Structure 1
C-alpha cells in the first residue's frame, strides 16, 4: 500500500490526483499528517508526504529503523520529489521517478545505502570515513528544508551532489566544515564539523620510554600544529617498537580519548615496519644517530609517509608535521590527500 499524506487542502488536491495516477493500491490519508503517518506506518510499503522536507523529516525520524520493515518515503515539495528513505533497496527511487514524471517535477534521488542513511550528509560522512562533531540530524533537516547552508571544504574533498541552497552562504544559520584541522568556532549560528580520517602519525621512541612521555609529544599535534586528533587513521613506527610498553600504553590512552570515531569504527592501530623498509623512504630530516641505532635514518617521518602511501590507494600523501621531538620521543604526521 502507498499512503499519501497532504499538509493542507491544496496539497490534498494534488494527493487525490496522484492517487488516480499511481493505481488502486493507494490511500489518501485523512486527518493530521503526523498522527496519520504514525497510524499507518506498519501497513505501508511506501509513504508520499506532500509537505516541506524539513517537516517530513521530523515526522518520519522517530520511526525509521535500519531494516526492511520501514516503508520507502518520498517527499513532494516546491517543484521537487525528494527521496528520504528506502532509496535503492526500498524502491523509493523508482517511486519518486514515477511521481516526478506524472507531475512534471524534478526528482532528487538517494544514492546511499539504507544502512548508512539516505541524507547527503550521511553519504558524505560514510564516503570520507569521517567523525562528526555537531548535530547532523538538525543540519540535514535544515538542508532539506531549503535553508541556506554555508559549506567550507578547504582541502578540496570530492563531494556528492549538493542542493542549490548549500554553498558560500555568509550569514547562514548552519556552517559545515570538512577538515582534519581544528576549526575556530563560528561567531553566530550552528557549526557541523566533518572530520575525515586522513592522518597517519609516525612515532619514534627510546627504549624504556614512559607512556606519559609519548602522550606529551602526541599532544603537540593538536596544541602546536592544530590537527584534530580524531582525524588520525593509524599510527606507524619501526618494528622494534611493536611491543614497547610505553608506546602501547600511550596509544591505549589516546584511543580512549580520541580514537572511537563513528559508531562501529575501529580505533587507529599501530603499524610497524622493518628498518630496511623505512630506509627507502625519502624524508626531510634524516639523522645519522637514528641510522646508527636503528638501521634507518628516519623512524617517525618515514613510518608516517610509508604507512600513508600504503593506505592512499594511489592518492598523494604529504608530510604535514615534520619530525617534532620530546626528550625520548619523536612524532611526525602524514596526510592522505583527497
Structure 2
C-alpha cells in the first residue's frame, strides 16, 4: 500500500510573502446547504506571478474563483485583491481584475472588433481611448485581419485569444484564468501560454485553474493543490515534485547477455526482458549517474541508452488527492 507523502501547507508556515500580495485569502470558507465546499483555505499570490490552483473535479476551484472575484461572498474569512477588500469595496476589486472563464464570453454575432469595443463601453472608456485599445489588442493577439469578421467564424484558438483580449480591455492588475486552454489544439495552447507569459512579464498577476498539469508545470511560479475543500500542499512545481517518491533511472541494453550482466551487478528495482531495460531507484543527480556508469564500465557492461525519469505534477496530483482519473 503506497503512502501519501506529507507536504506542509506553505500558507501556514510563512509560504509566499504577503508583503507584495496581489491576491490574499485567509480562512476562506463556503458551504452550500450542508455541503462544505471550502473549509478554511489560505492563498497568497505575489504581484507579477502565476499561481496554479489544481484539484479534482468538485474540489472547490471554481467556488474559490467566484469568491475572489466577488461573484459569491464567503461564509467566513478575509480576502484582499490588489489591496482592496471585496466585502467593503467590491467595485474597486472589480475595476482591478479581469476574468476569463472556462467558456467563452464572446458574442458570436459581433465582429472581433465590436466585441472589444463593447467591452470598452462597459468599462466606460472614452470613445477614442476604447478604439485605440481595441486596435492595440487586435494587433497584439494577431486578430487584425479577422477583426471585421463575426466571432462565430473564428477557430477555437482565435476565440480564446479574443476572449482574453476582451478581459484586457480594462487593463486589469489581476487576472483569473479558469481553464483557459480547454479544447485547444497543442499549437493554440502553446500560443496561449506565450501570451500568458507575456502578461506576467509586464507585471500582471494571474491565478490559473487548469486540468492540464503540464500547463501548470510550464506556467506557474507556485502551485496550490486543493482537495476536499482544503489546500493540501503549496510550493513551486519543482518543490512539490521533489517531495514525491518514485524517481528512477532506466537503462537499456542491446542484447539479453548485457541485460543479465547488468541485472546481476546492480540488483535493479524493475526489469523488462522484452524491452531489454532495467529500472534503478535514483534521483538523477550527475554524481549518481557518473558512479553508475563507472560501475558498469568497470564490469565491461555496455549500456545502449540511459533515461532519468522523475516525478511530474501528475504524480503529485495523484499522491495528494488520491483520485486518479478525477
Q: TM-score normalised by the shorter chain: which range applies? A: under 0.3
Answer with 1 or 2: which has the greater Rg: 1
Length-normalised TM-score, structure 2: 0.25
Length-normalised TM-score, structure 1: 0.24
Q: Which has the higher contact order (CA 8 A, sep 6+)?
A: 2
